[in-house]
Amino acid sequence: MNSQPAKSKTDSGKEFLDSFLNSPDRLQILEQAVASARTGIVITDPLLPDNPIVYANQAFIDLSGYPMEEILGKNCRFLQGADRDQPELKVLRSALNEGAPFVATLRNYKKNGALFWNELSISPVRDARGKVINYIGVQNDVTSRLEAERRVSEFYSMVSHELRTPMSSIRASLGLIDDGSAGELPPPAMRLIRIGLQNAERLLKLVDDILDMKKIESGKLRLNTTLVDPKQLITDAINSLSTQAASAHVQLETNADGQKQFLADPHRISQVLVNLVSNAIKFSPADTTISVKVKQEDSMMRFSVTDQGPGIDAGDFEKVFVKFQQLDSSDTRSQTGSGLGLAISKTIVELHGGNIGVESKKGSGSTFWFMLPMVPNE
């Protein structure tokens, strides 16, 4: 008995595409799709004087507030009103003259004069000879989104000025009491002071992480590079976490001898090391050791932090570097944190031209590492 071989998904897809392209209803389907789209779409004709609009869908009518008879035949600049000095418009005109695509967010105005922010994307349509015969403009009102982003930016500013400053003062005051500068206190009172100090430091760390993430998202995180000693970086990180390690009954050991100095931002690399070692302390059982090492591998400097904690499933490796990501996000998880530290660390390392990763096996501890290029001091 002869049997026909089963068709592959590729063959089936090709047959469907051929059927669609040869369908007499194809143009009607495309027209209905454009007309039904929820984003504003216009088509202009650059072969006519002033590149007028020759088509607009209902979403564009709703977006602009203009009826169809006041749209067709006009150049899209009518949405600009008298606001013709936007720098993006110069780029737009240049793109149209060159037959190039264009994407930008512009200040536009509805028929009633209301301002809206228009996320505009323009694409040229060419004939078989490559000549531009139309432009398609896809437009979205992103005013609400930009307003939300503005409010978030104001919140970050409030956090910076109204929360960080008093928290720094509280931490400093509690630190003076803790080290005996304000006089001796009975042991029960000192225990309460240390609890307050630890939580003040934790809250200040959260504020700093939020502000750093804002800098990252706005592209304003900058590096101040100088010649650094890798051994000193590790020593400083270990010293800053000695109290946390002692409270967790965890030992910290280092191996950083004989490494060359290189150019990096010492504050930011220390921040990465503190994040990695602090995480290792949080997840390490009592009476275990965390190893912090640095060594040169070819033209890269490799830092690593190895713990004897619960380990991480291979499928979760990428998740740990995503902001606000917690592998245990339940309300009952034993360890706290913002979920920002590793995401910030990844950005810092990548700004240096390096890379970061983790090696782990569930139940067998973890090694978090990052590698930085050995940029010479020229």
Q: Mean pLDDT throughout 262-287? A: 93
Task: Compare 14 and 243 and report the one with higher pLDDT.
Answer: 243
Give the strand order in the sheet containing 40-44. Answer: 53-56, 40-44, 132-141, 115-126, 102-109
Q: Tell me, what amino acid is at 176? A: L
Element (H, E) at 9: helix 9-21
pLDDT at 135: 97
Residue written as token pair 């536009």: 108
Task: Compare 260 and 156 and report the one with higher pLDDT.
Answer: 260
Looking at CATH, the fold of the domain delimited by 226-373 is given as Heat Shock Protein 90 (3.30.565)
pLDDT above 90: residue 12: no
Residue written as token pair 């400097």: 301
Residues 6+ apart with CB under 8 A from 178: 190, 193, 194, 197
Task: Compare 272 and 259 and report the one with higher pLDDT.
Answer: 272
pLDDT above 80: residue 61: yes
pLDDT at 92: 95
Q: Percent of the chain scored above 70 by pLDDT?
A: 88
| Cα–Cα distance measured from residue 195 to residue 174, given in angstroms and rounded to the nearest whole number | 10
pLDDT at 334: 47
Confidence band, pLDDT 50/70/90 cuts, at residue 27: confident
Q: Provide the strand spans (E) within the chain.
A: 40-44, 53-56, 102-109, 115-126, 132-141, 226-228, 251-255, 262-264, 289-297, 300-306, 355-360, 366-373
DSSP 327: S
Integer CA distances (angstroms), 217 to 153, 224, 280, in order: 11, 19, 27
34-44 residue pLDDT tens: 999 999 999 99
201-258 residue pLDDT tens: 888 888 888 888 878 877 888 899 999 999 999 999 998 888 889 989 999 999 887 7
289-347 residue pLDDT tens: 999 999 998 889 999 999 999 998 887 887 888 865 555 533 333 455 557 889 999 99
Q: Mean pLDDT throughout 71-97? A: 94
Instruction: With 0.75 as the threshold, say if the pTM is over it.
Output: no
pLDDT at 338: 58
pLDDT above 80: residue 99: yes
Query: What residue ranges do the domains of the chain occupy?
Result: 23-141, 146-217, 226-373
DSSP 112: T
Residues 6+ apart with CB under 8 A from 81: 108, 109, 113
- The top-level CATH class assigned to 23-141 is alpha beta
| Cα–Cα distance measured from residue 241 to residue 215, given in angstroms and rounded to the nearest whole number | 25
pLDDT at 353: 93
